[in-house]
Amino acid sequence: MRFHKKYQWMAKFPGTLPKMMKTRPGPKKTKDKGPPEAEIQEQVEAYLELRGYHYERLPDALYRSLRTGSVPIHVQAQIAHCIRGRQDLTIFERFDDYNMAMALELKSAAGKMSPHQLANQMIVNTKEAHSYEEAVLHIDTFISRVRKLRALIGAGEHVEMPGKNVGHNEDHDKAGHERFPGERQQ
């Protein structure tokens, strides 16, 4: 071991070495950051396009316009309030007359969700993915569960929901068909 001139005399007496000098620190350990979030997002969007899944994402131009000041300040504040904490992708799967949706937040390996994203996660149940593989797993699980539910219930069949058709409903006739405003009761 080499020491600074000031401490070379200590090398002759090993018991006198200060604790910090006994072992030389190795190279600084850095956490593997993996691919950046933008790269993961491109890969996931390519996967969604390839599989034909429907999804929505806010355009980058919207975020850029907030940073560049190309929009009046009061409009910037309104837009920022609406999109703050919003997930990166929303994936849709058709279910009868409705869409079922899954919110997906993509992060790099070292990325963390902001406080606004964490608050949004509590409301929307956002799934967080730190890699392309993890995102694909979340997407495929969501799609397969919706399809299993569709098969279980039977797509296209009318299903009576508990509490929905109970009692008399003024907006529906005896057969359960919706009446238009002003239509007389038969």
Average pLDDT over residues 76-86: 83
Task: Kindly indicate the confidence band of residue 163, based on its pLDDT and cuts at 50, 70 and 90.
Answer: very low
Q: Which residues pair with 172 in a beta bridge?
A: 178
Is the predicted pLDDT of residue 160 greater than 70, yes or no? no
Percent of the chain with pLDDT over 90: 26
Q: Which residues contact 45 (CB under 8 A, 6 or more apart)?
A: 55, 57, 89
Ordered by where they begin, the domains of the chain are: 37-56+87-153 (3.40.1350)
The pLDDT tens digits for 94-136 are 887 888 999 999 998 888 888 888 888 888 889 999 999 999 9
Is the predicted pLDDT of residue 167 greater than 50, yes or no? no
Is the predicted pLDDT of residue 141 greater than 90, yes or no? yes
The pLDDT tens digits for 16-56 are 555 555 555 555 555 667 788 889 999 999 999 999 999 99
Q: Are 107 and 129 in contact (CB under 8 A)?
A: yes
Concatenating the DSSP letter of every residue in the chain gives: ----GGGGGGGGSGGGS-HHHHS---SPP-----S-HHHHHHHHHHHHHHHT-EEE---HHHHHHHHHT-S-HHHHHHHHHHHTT--SEEEEEEETTEEEEEEEEE--TT----HHHHHHHHHH--EEESSHHHHHHHHHHHHHHHHHHHHHH-TTS--PPTTTS-S--TTB-TTSPBPPTTPPP-
